[in-house]
Chain A
Amino acid sequence: MSEPLLKVEGLKVHFPVRGGWLGGQTGTVKAVDGFDIEIGRGETVALVGESGCGKSTAGNAILGLVEASGGRIVFEGQDLLSLDRSERARLRRDMQVIFQDPVSALNPKLTIEHSVGEPLIIQGVERKTRKARVAELLRIVGLNPEQARRYPNELSGGQRQRVVIARSLATSPKLIVCDEAVSALDVSIRSQILNLLMRLQTEFGFSYLFISHDLSVVRHIADRVVVMYLGTIAEDGPADAVFDRPVHPYTEALLSAIPLPDPKAQRAREPMVLQGDLPSPIDPPKGCPFVTRCPISEVRCKDVRPVLAPTGEGTRAACFVRNPAARPKDVPA
């Protein structure tokens, strides 16, 4: 296999918790605590999990929007964390991001033309070329180039998200991070935007890191899926395997919790309803992070943290009840 576009190893993002009398550090939130991912060229890798699992923080660390506390982020063969600021910034030009809310992503006082052309202004592209490029970008995302002179409030939510997509394409990126990019859209608009994202990828060959809590959307768009829980990876692998033959009980619970839009199928299911809430990332369980909610946990799960290891299904899962290979080497069976 050729060199992946992005390779992240052992990524950690820890935030200090301050408090107490003198505002000193009283603890650490391990928002991301050991995270590996590889994204090939033209590939879509999805990051799924519930709120607080660290999926957006992992995405933000890759984008350089939060500081990584450890690990390696190798993009185009270079470790971003070992480069100086300007080098890092130059490489990160090939990364773009699309957030959930197209309203706050666009400056209400700027025309669509200005917003879409902004990355080009920064690159010093001359006005006439820029204008032509913006018109082209608007056409590519299915907008009328005449809308270039409009303001965001004159557009619908779906149109605004198209503008955001057009802007992210302006610098011809190699990786686009979509952080809940379709979550705020109405159902009828969401499928339009998903179709657009898939079409653009076929056309331009860039990669997506697709962060989403919506598993039916992820199932549709992703080549590979990474399931996160409490800052670590519970399971990852090809989308087919993860969705059809989940190994980790958390993946199974997550899939089982999505109500199917088919009353017969939905009511025939015996859903696996998890008890309780996510534990606090300030004080995560010592052993398996999922142990407090896991329906199949054993005594050893409380003390020993499983490692992410290959399963017989072509995936990797961090659960030693289901996957014996997940037992750390220094722990006897």
Chain B
Amino acid sequence: MAEVEDRRPVLSVRDLVTEIGGRAVVDRVSLDVMPGEVVALVGESGSGKSLTALSIMGLLPGAARATGGEVLLDGEDLLGKSERQMRAIRGERLSMIFQEPVASLNPLVPVGDQVAESLIVHGHASRGDASRQAVEMLAHVGIPQPDQRARQLPAELSGGMCQRVMIASALISNPRLLIADEPTTALDVTIQAQILRLMKALRQERDTAILIITHDMGVVADIADRVCVMYGGRIVETAPVFELFERPSHPYTKLLLQTIPRMTGARKEELKAIEGTVPDVSQWPSGCRFRTRCPLAREDCAEMPPLIPVTEGHRSACWHMDELERIG
């Protein structure tokens, strides 16, 4: 990873604002993903993590609009692109896999044809050539008897197999960036372990940049190089993965890590909890969005804290991060 520093980011999101009904549900989000790097976007429901991903892909649902900032893919801004231009970019330089692999595949088309589709659509291969490459790709993502499987429909495959098919179709055009939105959430743990191992192998071989959206700190710890923690539409902390787990510097991150039941340590004891509920966007407070649940909150938190440097590559949006030990 040493030479990463000299390279330019594949994806650079600058002050992205996405609005629904005049409310900024993604509020000035900035993040970079370097070639071969895995960046995890972590947050609870309503944090804006999935809308950030959909804004990057140009796949926002009807009511949502990206209204500010830039989404630079290899330096080229995607926000100004027409739908037609985006279609040419998606599936070629930019691919996405989703939480529900079975629902994301066309139930009526054999999986081999679905994997081959982007090669044909983008004019990179003839039909026969694309089919051959699709079978190779299916083998590559660990599908046994790929030439037979290629002719089957999604319903004939298990959930784990369907996620492999999704990954195969996302990677066949060798995209610069793969966005994976909760790619293992719907899978069983033994299948999740297989898929995480596959994603790690692929990024190593192909230098694909990966932006993974997840709520699971275990998945983050397994696969991410860097982490962005989102709360209330904003990135509240960003750090290299080891640094984040060792020295969480935002009260939300610190509490979040403390609330997870561990596989070691005391059992049956009261778990640390974060008070209150994740507020709906209509109820976000002014200033720091976490202040209504934060044990360190004071009056000055009514002013929005910017991301303040903690150490190299580690920033936290909290005015009171020097008092974090009070959380325990």
- A interface residue numbers (CB < 8 A to B): 50-51, 156-159, 186-192, 194-195, 198-199, 213, 215-217, 219-221, 239-240, 243, 253-267, 271, 273-274, 276-278
* 4 closest cross-chain pairs (CB), A and B: A259-B218, A50-B188, A261-B217, A220-B261
- B interface residue numbers (CB < 8 A to A): 44-45, 144, 158-161, 188-194, 196-197, 215-222, 224, 241-242, 245, 255-257, 259-263, 267-274, 277-278, 280
Q: Across the interface, which residues of A come within 8 angstroms of B197, CB to CB?
A: 271, 273
**Complex Cα–Cα for A212 and B218 (A):** 17
Q: Across the interface, which residues of A come within 8 angstroms of B221, CB to CB?
A: 259-263, 265-267
User: B240's closest neighbor in chain A, by CB?
Assistant: A263
User: B186's closest neighbor in chain A, by CB?
Assistant: A51
Cβ of B218 and Cβ of A198 under 8 Å apart?
no
Cβ of B261 and Cβ of A277 under 8 Å apart?
no
User: Distance in Å from the Cβ of A228 to the closest Cβ of chain B?
Assistant: 12
Q: CB < 8 Å: which of A186, A191, A271 contacts B272?
A: A191
How many inter-chain contacts with C-beta < 8 Å in the A-B complex?
Answer: 138
User: A190's closest neighbor in chain B, by CB?
Assistant: B259
User: Distance in Å from the Cβ of B98 to the closest Cβ of chain A?
Assistant: 18
Cβ of A277 and Cβ of B262 under 8 Å apart?
no
Q: CB < 8 Å: which of A187, A189, A215, A260 contacts B277?
A: A189
User: Distance in Å from the Cβ of B141 to the closest Cβ of chain A?
Assistant: 14
**Complex Cα–Cα for A198 and B267 (A):** 11
User: Distance in Å from the Cβ of A255 to the closest Cβ of chain B?
Assistant: 8
**Complex Cα–Cα for A185 and B19 (A):** 25
User: A49's closest neighbor in chain B, by CB?
Assistant: B188
A257 with B273, Cβ < 8 A, contacts A216-B262, A216-B263 known: no
Cβ of B44 and Cβ of A258 under 8 Å apart?
no
Contacts A253-B190, A257-B193 given; 18 further ones with Cβ under 8 A?
Answer: A51-B159, A186-B215, A186-B278, A188-B256, A191-B272, A191-B273, A213-B188, A220-B267, A258-B218, A258-B263, A260-B262, A261-B218, A261-B221, A263-B221, A266-B222, A271-B197, A274-B190, A276-B144
Q: Across the interface, which residues of B come within 8 angstroms of A194, CB to CB?
A: 261, 271
Cβ of A215 and Cβ of B272 under 8 Å apart?
no
**Complex Cα–Cα for A266 and B272 (A):** 22
Residue with the highest number of chain B CB atoms closer than 10 Å, among A186, A257, A259, A274: A259
Q: Across the interface, which residues of A come within 8 angstroms of B188, CB to CB?
A: 50-51, 213, 278
Cβ of A261 and Cβ of B160 under 8 Å apart?
no
Q: Across the interface, which residues of B come within 8 angstroms of A260, CB to CB?
A: 218, 221, 262-263
User: Distance in Å from the Cβ of B328 to the closest Cβ of chain A?
Assistant: 15
Cβ of B268 and Cβ of A217 under 8 Å apart?
no
Q: Across the interface, which residues of A come within 8 angstroms of B216, CB to CB?
A: 259
**Complex Cα–Cα for A262 and B260 (A):** 11
Q: CB < 8 Å: which of A191, A267, A276 contacts B271?
A: A191
Cβ of A264 and Cβ of B277 under 8 Å apart?
no
Cβ of B270 and Cβ of A187 under 8 Å apart?
no
**Complex Cα–Cα for A116 and B198 (A):** 47
Residue with the highest number of chain A CB atoms closer than 10 Å, among B160, B192, B218: B218
User: A272's closest neighbor in chain B, by CB?
Assistant: B193
Cβ of A239 and Cβ of B267 under 8 Å apart?
yes
Cβ of B261 and Cβ of A216 under 8 Å apart?
yes
User: Distance in Å from the Cβ of A171 to the closest Cβ of chain B?
Assistant: 26
Cβ of B190 and Cβ of A257 under 8 Å apart?
yes
